[in-house]
Amino acid sequence: MPSVTIAGSAGSLEGRFHRAANSEAPVALVLHPNPKFGGTMNTLVVYSLFTTFQDAGFSVLRINFRGVGRSAGEFAGGAGELADAQAAWAWLCAECPQAKGKWIAGFSFGSWIGLQLLAREGGCDGFVVVAPPANNLDFGFLTEWRTPGLIAHGMADQLVPEDVVKQLVARPCAPGVSVEYAPIAGAGHFFDPGQEELVRVVGSYVKQRAGERCSGAP
């Protein structure tokens, strides 16, 4: 898959981009976990999300946040990484102006950034977040769900208790919006084991929702 360079507020951002053959294919941006703990765009869960969207017919982009790999800058604790995600999102939307759907996805810290991006940008058709760290990052910006999506979490996660994720899922939904919860039995925070089941669950959800979007279903 081609390497891409995206202009960010702290300098250039390194990314990998797969362009679907269909110019009207939906797009997805996938965001990685906390780089302070080794997170990169090549983290296995991130790569699995990327290839799952690719296999579902999407054009899909993943990036390294500032200070990771060949991305310029330094870790900024959240605000800078959100700016990176916004730059990547703008690049993706400009690259695929005919896209018939827009999705945001993220793992752990990347889910926190992704959901903030979703709240700020709007106009998205769906999201997928994996292991959102609702026990140590502030998800208070989510007063209600306004976009349908999927939250997947390992039932044996040693870093993020399942109860706090269930509380996140249970927040109110806007009319006509639903958020699904997918608990993965036996999976820890990094889904080893559990990777294959995560891919199966996410792939099934994405293909169903993208199919509804293409068919005009509500």
Q: How far is CA 216 from CA 26, 93, 128, 202, in A?
A: 14, 21, 21, 21
Euclidean distance between CA atoms 39 and 45, whole angstroms: 10
CA dist., res. 129 & res. 106, Å (int):
5
Average the pLDDT over 114-142 and give the result: 96
**Cα gap 180→176, rounded to integer Å:** 13
Cis ω for the linkage preceding 35 (within 30 of 0): no
Domain boundaries along the sequence of the chain: 3-211
For residues 128-148, give the mean pLDDT.
97
Q: Is the pLDDT of residue 169 over 70?
A: yes
- Contact 204/197 with Cβ under 8 angstroms? no
CA distance 60 to 25: 10
14 neighbors 22 (Cβ within 8 angstroms): no
Residue 85 pLDDT greater than 60, yes or no = yes
Query: Which helix (H) or strand (E) element contains residue 182?
Result: strand 179-184
Among positive and negative, which fits the CA dihedral 78, 29, 43, 171?
positive
Q: What is the mean pLDDT of the chain?
A: 95
Architecture of the domain whose range is 3-211: 3-Layer(aba) Sandwich (3.40)
pLDDT 10s digits, 154-166:
999 999 999 999 9
Percent of the chain with pLDDT over 70: 96
Helices 109-121 and 79-95, axial angle in degrees (round to 10): 60
pLDDT of the residue at 212? 65
Start-to-end CA distance of the chain, whole Å, equals: 33
pTM of the model: 0.95
